[in-house]
């Protein structure tokens, strides 16, 4: 009988254990959130560079060009910036340095360039340069070393009024480039160095 009771007890215990396990909640695996992939980078379409509009070139008024006195001013050349003359009556010389005054009747291209340059720092003043007609410059020419530098510069309008005046105290020397107006000026005013006189052979003393 005891064996029967023991078997029944074990059976009942197993039933209770199975019932308890059935009541326990089942463990569910948490869903791992999916990582969203970043959106693709937008396609950048490079636009062709747009050229800036051409600068508006002001139409300059017609002006009367001056003709310097031929008894004072000698024409020595013409460039795209103007017609050049030098004053032959007041050339100062000291050692190898010649100081000369230059008169330039400016071209329309030079006038337009000056209008644009002055407009950058003084638009009101640039209006007067519409009538820029000539300038007078004092240059120093180093005849021996073929260099030059400016000492003074005055701009005039067509009526002879001063537009601007600059003086230069310590302007650096610049090389005179070949086939330029300064090269022509140098050849015109620089005095050629005198060749040393050939020594005459000493006379032979007559024997007494």
Question: 3-state DSSP helix/strand/coil percent for the chain, to nearest 5?
Answer: 25, 25, 45
Q: Identify each DSSP E strand in the chain by its residue range.
A: 73-79, 82-87, 92-94, 97-106, 132-142, 147-157, 162-167, 174-175
Q: For the CA atoms of 105, 109, 114, 115, what is the dihedral angle to 10 degrees?
A: 120
Please tell me the predicted confidence (pLDDT) of residue 55. Answer: 61
pLDDT the model gives residue 59: 86
Per-residue HEC secondary structure of 8-33 comes to: HHHHHHHHHHHHHHHHCCCCCCCCCC
List the domain boundaries for the chain. 73-189
Any idea which architecture 73-189 has in CATH?
Beta Barrel (2.40)
Contact 184, 104 (CB under 8 A): no
Picking from 206, 128, 119, 188, the residue whose alpha carbon sits closest to that of residue 162 is 128
The two structure tokens encoding residue 72: 């004072």
Neighbours of 100 (CB within 10 A): 22
Residue 194: the pLDDT is 40
pLDDT by residue, tens only, the chain of 208 residues: 555 656 556 666 655 555 555 455 554 555 666 767 777 777 777 777 877 776 666 689 999 999 999 999 999 999 999 999 999 999 999 988 999 999 999 999 999 999 999 999 999 999 999 999 999 999 999 999 999 999 999 999 999 999 999 999 989 999 999 888 999 999 999 965 444 444 555 555 555 5
CB 172 within 8 A of CB 149: yes
On whether the CB atoms of residues 103 and 86 are closer than 8 A, the answer is yes
First-to-last alpha carbon distance for the chain, in angstroms, is 188
Containing H/E element for 121? Answer: helix 108-121
Closest residue by Cα to residue 111 from 90, 91, 95, 132: 132
């Amino acid at each position: 009988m005891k064996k029967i009771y023991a078997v029944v007890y074990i059976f009942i215990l197993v039933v209770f254990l199975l019932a308890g396990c059935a009541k326990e909640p089942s463990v569910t695996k948490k869903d791992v959130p999916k990582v969203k992939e970043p959106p693709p980078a937008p396609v950048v379409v490079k636009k062709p560079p747009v050229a800036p509009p051409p600068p508006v070139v002001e139409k300059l008024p017609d002006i009367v060009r001056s003709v310097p006195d031929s008894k004072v001013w000698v024409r020595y050349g013409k460039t795209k910036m103007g017609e050049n003359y030098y004053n032959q009556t007041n050339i100062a010389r000291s050692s190898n340095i010649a100081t000369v005054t230059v008169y330039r009747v400016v071209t329309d291209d030079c006038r337009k360039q000056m209008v644009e340059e002055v407009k950058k720092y003084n638009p009101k003043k640039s209006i007067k340069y519409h009538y820029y007609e000539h300038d007078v410059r004092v240059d120093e020419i180093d005849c021996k070393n073929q260099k030059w530098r400016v000492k003074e510069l005055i701009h005039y309008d067509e009526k002879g009024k001063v537009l601007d005046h600059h003086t230069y105290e310590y302007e650096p020397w610049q090389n005179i480039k070949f086939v330029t107006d300064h090269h022509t000026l140098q050849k015109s005013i620089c005095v050629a160095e005198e060749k040393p006189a050939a020594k005459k052979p000493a006379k032979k003393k007559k024997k007494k």
